Amino acid sequence: MHQKLQSIKLSLPLLFRSLFNMEKRKLKDRDEAILLQHPLVLFLILVLGFVIMDPLQVGPLGGHEFKPVKHSIAPYKKVMERWPRDNLSRLGLGKLEFEDEVFGPESLEFDALGLGPYTGLADGRIVRWMGPDVGWETFALVTANWSEQVCAKGNESTTYKQWKHEKRCGRPLGLRFDKVTGNLYIADAYYGLLVVGPEGGLATPLSTQDVEGNPILFANDLDIHTNGSIFFTDTSTRYNRVDHFLILLEGEATGRLLRYDPPTKTTHVVLHGLAFPNGLQFSQDQTFLLFTETTNCRLMKYWLEGPKSGTVELVADLPGFPDNVRINEKGQFWVAIDCCRTPAQEVLSNNPWLRNVYFRLPIRMTYLARIMGMKMYTLISLFNDKGEILEVLEDRKGEVMKLVSEVRESKGKLWIGTVAHNHIATVPYP
């Protein structure tokens, strides 16, 4: 009797497994029959698969490996409810300067004598304004590879046509003068950290890799400490500037804050694991520096001195995607912000799998952004050292600036740069 029971116990799992496999085959046969009986269903499935694969590379991914991740971004509703609005859209009252004379003037700088502005262009040059009688002149180049024939594309410098030439011609982004020596320090997206003397000319490379030999793939902005060290951002260790949209779409966080040490000529990693680190700025007393994380839409603080030395803290969550941050004479900070976040964008940020499907659709990025409710306009905001908002200026209709990269307060004006268009904007201030 015991042996019979034991035999039944052993055979029951086999019986259930056999029944399960039979049902599985039936379901499979039924599904195949449905597809054969309804060719429209089969056709729609094939079309959907074709769309998601995007073999013609119409969509924004362009055949790149795409690994979206969930990233740290404050809730949309919480940020927008507390953010003050500029109902007069005062930024839209600004004046366009130097139209079609400068091409993608990302960062704006003035020398120790107040001359300028100096700015880096999409064609690889650093130029300076010499007054209405002379106009703009080339001040510096970041590489001896630069040639007018290949690199000088005029208004087309800020279009996709320039992208294939950027690695050769260079793309100077952040600029800073050492007010003591008169040297101009440059963060170039392809040639790393460089310096050129007060008379200009061909810039000298300072750093293209860190102390461990890891390459600097996307140098973006910089600032100079009074001890001579130079802090600068390396936006990603996976993507260069041409592919900067992929950094945002993936949410990847491989960016770094670096420090170049002139006596040893070495570059050290200060922070890593940052999500599109972009602009940076020391405080007046240099006890801390502020930096922006574009992907996470926030302004961060890194403490250099005091009991919090070496730590990072949140200063402000922002309504859009920040670029550079610059200090004024009062020790306050102007942040350039491209607008704006939307509820749909937040859903995508929190669901990597959805981004993996959405951005594979064979639709241009411009249209995908519109579907998410995103519009191209800008706002700039002034913060104190505690992160309190002192001023907000908007251009809601994008009449003056559709994309903003930097705000520099000088000579009774706000000078506003843009990485993507061919002009500078000015607004009387205060």
pLDDT of 292-344, one tens digit each? Answer: 999 999 999 999 999 999 999 999 999 999 999 999 999 999 999 998 888 98
Tokens of 35: 């597809």
Q: Is the pLDDT of residue 162 over 80?
A: yes
What is the pLDDT at residue 359?
Answer: 86
Residues 4-18 have a mean pLDDT of: 46
Asked if residue 17 has pLDDT above 60, the reply is: no
Q: What is the pLDDT of residue 372?
A: 86
Residue (of 333, 315, 316) closest to 324 by Cα position: 333
* pLDDT above 70 coverage of the chain, percent: 86
CA distance 301 to 295: 16
Residue 383 has pLDDT above 80, yes or no: yes
pLDDT at 3 over 80: no
**Predicted confidence band of residue 87 (pLDDT cuts 50, 70, 90):** confident
Lowest mean pLDDT among 209-223, 353-367, 378-392: 353-367
Report the half-sphere exposure of 12 (CA within 13 A, side-chain side).
Answer: 6
pLDDT over 60 (residue 5) = no
Distances (CA, A) of 105 to 74, 109, 120, 170: 30, 11, 6, 14
Domain parsing of the chain, residue ranges: 18-53, 76-428
Contact 151, 126 (CB under 8 A): no
pLDDT tens sequence across 221-277: 999 999 999 999 999 999 999 999 899 999 999 999 999 999 999 999 999 999 999
How many CA atoms lie less than 13 Å away from 363 in the CB half-sphere? 12
76-428 fold: Neuraminidase (2.120.10)
What is the predicted pLDDT for the residue at 158? 93
Mean predicted lDDT score pLDDT of the chain: 88
CB 333 within 8 A of CB 316: no
Q: Is pLDDT at 168 greater than 90 in this prediction? A: yes
CA distances for 397 relative to 92, 324, 344, 378, 408, angstroms: 7, 22, 21, 9, 22
For position 293, what pLDDT does the model report?
98
Please give the pLDDT value at position 6: 47
Indicate the pLDDT class of residue 120, thresholds 50, 70 and 90. Answer: very high
Helical spans, DSSP H, in 38-162: 39-53, 76-82, 148-151
Whole-structure pTM value: 0.87
